[in-house]
Homo-oligomer: A and B are copies of this chain.
Amino acid sequence: LEHCKSICIIGTGRLAFRLSRQLASSALIINQVFGRDIEKANKLARLLGAQGIDDYQETKPDSDLYLILVSDDAIEEVSENLPMVKGLVAHSSGAISSSALKKHARTGVFYPLQSFTEGEEANWPEVPFCVHSDEEEDLKLLENTVRKISSRPYRVNDQQRLKLHTSAVFTNNFVNHILAIGRKCCEEAELPYEILAPLLNETIRRAQLLDPWESQTGPARRDDKISMNKHLEILAEHPHWQSIYREISASITKHYKS
């Protein structure tokens, strides 16, 4: 009962394509793929040896797991449109409460904590999956499903998951934007970005080894207003970057002063 034998995939986007193929290649049976666009549903279904459907009424009621792999703003609507089923209905979002699935008797979350890019396969065995359900049996079913493709299932409730998602925005999206700004400043100085490579590598090496709260350096940590004002002047043509500079510096200065 705690092992998942058949899965219905709902959605035909990037995550649906990648995750469902990985599940299928790990001895799980995908029996249906639902998509608003039947051509996309059929395309994915063919890859999985499944049936493509675009009508919710065609959903088989006896799959063990219904994975809703659609964008955050569509999850609740999809859940409402999905007929009542016996199986477990789960979504894969970091930010949506499991209550979005409340129409259904058995609900859960199956959230891969990874950022997926075009054209690159994820390193699935290392991808952490956050699973949640109110029922221990359903939680085990989700954990066992994760274990087919990854060694890293974590039990994470709704509140923890939203905090983790926030953390992931800082760790991935914001670090990326800050690096993008750093790179642009370097290019504006007409210097090759390679000049920053050793510093970037060192930053990264330390981030993986040390507690970043301990290893903070720089003008803001020293509350060196003269340097900070010079940098703000350099950023004069980029008011958004100035605001970022001010806010991060204020946060650093405040933390290390107190």
Q: Does A104 contact B (CB under 8 A)?
A: no
Q: Which of A140-167 contact B (CB under 8 A)?
A: 152, 154, 156, 159-167
- Chain B residues lying within 8 Å of A56, measured Cβ to Cβ, are none
- Chain B residues lying within 8 Å of A202, measured Cβ to Cβ, are 114-115, 172
- Chain B residues lying within 8 Å of A226, measured Cβ to Cβ, are 72-73, 95
Nearest B residue to A238 via CB reads B251
Is there an interface contact between A248 and B117, defined as CB atoms closer than 8 Å? no
Is there an interface contact between B199 and A182, defined as CB atoms closer than 8 Å? no
Is there an interface contact between A195 and B227, defined as CB atoms closer than 8 Å? no
- Chain B residues lying within 8 Å of A198, measured Cβ to Cβ, are 113-114, 123, 126-128, 152
- Chain B residues lying within 8 Å of A117, measured Cβ to Cβ, are 206, 215, 217
Q: Does A57 contact B (CB under 8 A)?
A: no
Is there an interface contact between A164 and B195, defined as CB atoms closer than 8 Å? yes
Nearest B residue to A97 via CB reads B230
Please pick, from B72, B115, B166, B207, the residue contacting A185 in the complex, using a CB distance under 8 A. B166
Q: Does A102 contact B (CB under 8 A)?
A: no
Is there an interface contact between B251 and A247, defined as CB atoms closer than 8 Å? no
Q: Does A84 contact B (CB under 8 A)?
A: no
Measured in the bound complex, the distance between the Cα atoms of B130 and A235 in whole Å is: 21
Please pick, from B128, B171, B172, B213, the residue contacting A217 in the complex, using a CB distance under 8 A. B172
Q: Does A204 contact B (CB under 8 A)?
A: yes
Q: So how many copies of this chain end up in the complex?
A: 2
Q: Does A47 contact B (CB under 8 A)?
A: no
Is there an interface contact between B163 and A95, defined as CB atoms closer than 8 Å? no
Measured in the bound complex, the distance between the Cα atoms of B196 and A215 in whole Å is: 19
Please pick, from B174, B186, B200, the residue contacting A207 in the complex, using a CB distance under 8 A. B200
Is there an interface contact between B183 and A167, defined as CB atoms closer than 8 Å? yes
Is there an interface contact between A227 and B72, defined as CB atoms closer than 8 Å? yes
- Chain B residues lying within 8 Å of A244, measured Cβ to Cβ, are 174, 244, 247-248, 251
Additional A-B contact list (14), CB under 8 Å, known A165-B231, A175-B207: A73-B224, A115-B202, A128-B195, A152-B198, A161-B189, A163-B188, A163-B191, A164-B195, A175-B178, A176-B215, A183-B211, A204-B208, A240-B251, A243-B250
Shortest 3 CB-CB contacts between residues of A and residues of B: A173-B218, A163-B189, A170-B182
